[in-house]
Amino acid sequence: MRVLVAALMGGIVMFLWGAVAHMALGLGNVGMHQPVAEDTVLAALHPGLGEQPGVYILPSMDPAKFGDKAVTDAYAAKSKASPYAWVVYLPQGENLMDMSGQLPRQWASDTLSALALAFVMGLAAFSFATRVSIALAAAVFAWLSTMVPYWNWYRFPLNFTLAALIEQVIGWLLAGAVMAWWLGRNRRRGA
């Protein structure tokens, strides 16, 4: 039960930190820019990408043709001469101001992440500092295993990637401190 309470507390702290990081500090917008001619780009998406929602990388190459040297050479030449884009595409559109679905999913994600972290932090009679260090290690691990590959392979901007590191480290240090306090408090009381 103490792990579940720690997870709920950590999930709430992380969710609140995410709101501060994105809305007050702007960490979620680092590296993002407004298009010069948005309507031109939007008008080209449907005829260029069709009806299939998903992630598109431009220029694109069919992975089934990676073994064809002529195709890979042509792709290499095209990619050197063309702009690059990583596009998350929804052909039907969506009200991006309505976050009624996203906010509960984010809280659930934060809480499930906190549950995994609380489980590890509660495995032994670790000190407060050790538990907080576990939270820090988990934050850096998650960033290294997710955001760095996005920067490396999908060309996410470096400043966007570093802002994500700051957001995750501070958030999980805050949540980890609350969780470490709770887990240590209950253990000392014999709960």
CA 143 to chain CA centroid, Å, is 8
Residue 93 has pLDDT above 90, yes or no: no
Residue 43 counted as domain residue:
no
Residue 138 counted as domain residue:
yes
Domain limits for position 140:
2-36+99-188
Distances (CA, A) of 48 to 53, 86, 90: 12, 14, 13
Residue 8 counted as domain residue:
yes
Percent of the chain having pLDDT more than 90? 91
CB 55 within 8 A of CB 88: yes
Count of helix runs (H) and strand runs (E) in the chain: 6, 2
Per-residue confidence (pLDDT) for residue 191, from 0 to 100: 43
pLDDT band at 96 (very low <50, low <70, confident <90, very high): confident
Residue 70 counted as domain residue:
no
pLDDT band at 186 (very low <50, low <70, confident <90, very high): very low
Distances (CA, A) of 35 to 44, 96, 141, 176: 13, 17, 33, 38
**117-140 average pLDDT score:** 94
Residue 123 counted as domain residue:
yes
The whole-chain average pLDDT of the chain stands at: 93
pLDDT band at 185 (very low <50, low <70, confident <90, very high): confident
| Prediction pTM value | 0.83
Domain total in the chain: 1
CB 169 within 8 A of CB 17: no
Collapsed DSSP state (helix, strand, coil) of residue 56: strand
Residue 81 counted as domain residue:
no
For residue 144, give every residue at least 6 positions away whose Cβ sits within 8 Å of its Cβ, in sequence order, or none: none
Per-residue confidence (pLDDT) for residue 190, from 0 to 100: 46
Alpha carbon distance 90, 22 (integer Å): 23
Residue 189 has pLDDT above 70, yes or no: no
**139-161 average pLDDT score:** 96
Write out the two tokens for 69.
């040297």
Residue 64 counted as domain residue:
no
Residue 6 counted as domain residue:
yes
